[in-house]
Chain A
Amino acid sequence: AQTVTQSQPEMSVQEAETVTLSCTYDTSENNYYLFWYKQPPSRQMILVIRQEAYKQQNATENRFSVNFQKAAKSFSLKISDSQLGDTAMYFCAFMRGGNQFYFGTGTSLTVIP
């Protein structure tokens, strides 16, 4: 079975600072995909960033970047220059087989002004 673990239930960061959210996963697959989703208080699920396991280069999307360590099965999200609008739940997700999608338990991030 695939599992996704987010060991930090809550985190906080000062505005304009950098924060890293952790995610580990367990799989025997070699080809898979990893995602970070953001869920603000409105509960809308918003894709933040995506990483293909076969790519060694870490994905980046503006202020968001990942540190993908395939051997360690680790997929952390770094948010640079944190903004108040970044306050949200962040979910790490794993996908294999086209439609086998699994989410972690989430990290609640608060950006402090």
Chain B
Amino acid sequence: DTAVSQTPKYLVTQMGNDKSIKCEQNLGHDTMYWYKQDSKKFLKIMFSYNNKELIINETVPNRFSPKSPDKAHLNLHINSLELGDSAVYFCASQPAGLGGNTIYFGEGSWLTVV
């Protein structure tokens, strides 16, 4: 039983296309994240949602739009894909409560823009 699942795991697409990556967690967590890991392995937060509400929105091009239909899902839609968008995108979730709860990552979605 996968706790945080992302689909697709691999995605190769052409520049200019629009694509989505889906994320679902079955842990009952309130907070979900999207992280981007580039070719240098830098792991950078993109968005954070708490109970369907946007909490963190780092400096990310507005071509990236997160959507949270319910607290178990946080999807990432990317418009007009660019070569620099090639990266591994990680979804993660975190339980509510006092700080110290760790975050649980999905397996990552490898996006390659050609």
Q: Which residues of A contact B43 (CB under 8 A)?
A: 91, 103, 106
Q: Within B41-55, which residues are at the interface with A (CB < 8 Å)?
A: 41-45, 48, 50, 55
| B102 A43 Cβ-Cβ under 8 A | no
Interface of A is mostly: strand
In the complex, per-residue mask of A43-56: 1 if CB is within 8 Å of any chain B CB, else 0: 11101001010000
Nearest CB on B from A74, distance (A): 19
| B99 A33 Cβ-Cβ under 8 A | yes
Binds A, one of B11-19, B20-28, B68-76, B103-111: B103-111
Nearest CB on B from A43, distance (A): 5
Q: Size class of A's contact patch?
A: 20 to 34
Nearest CB on A from B71, distance (A): 13
Contact of A102 among B45, B88, B94 (CB under 8 A): B45
| B94 A99 Cβ-Cβ under 8 A | yes
Contact of A44 among B33, B94, B100, B108 (CB under 8 A): B108
Q: Within B74-100, which residues are at the interface with A (CB < 8 Å)?
A: 88, 90, 92, 94, 98-100
**Given the known A-B contacts A43-B88, A44-B108, are A101 and B45 also in contact in the complex, defined by CB atoms under 8 Å?**
yes
Q: Which residues of B contact A105 (CB under 8 A)?
A: 40-42
Q: Which residue of B lies closest to A32 (CB)?
A: B99
| A95 B45 Cβ-Cβ under 8 A | no
| B56 A99 Cβ-Cβ under 8 A | yes
| B31 interface hit (Cβ, 8 Å) | yes
Nearest CB on B from A5, distance (A): 13
Binding site for B on A (CB under 8 A): 31-33, 35, 39, 42-45, 47, 50, 52, 89, 91, 95-103, 105-106, 108
Binding site for A on B (CB under 8 A): 31, 33, 37, 40-45, 48, 50, 55-56, 88, 90, 92, 94, 98-100, 102-103, 105, 107-108, 110
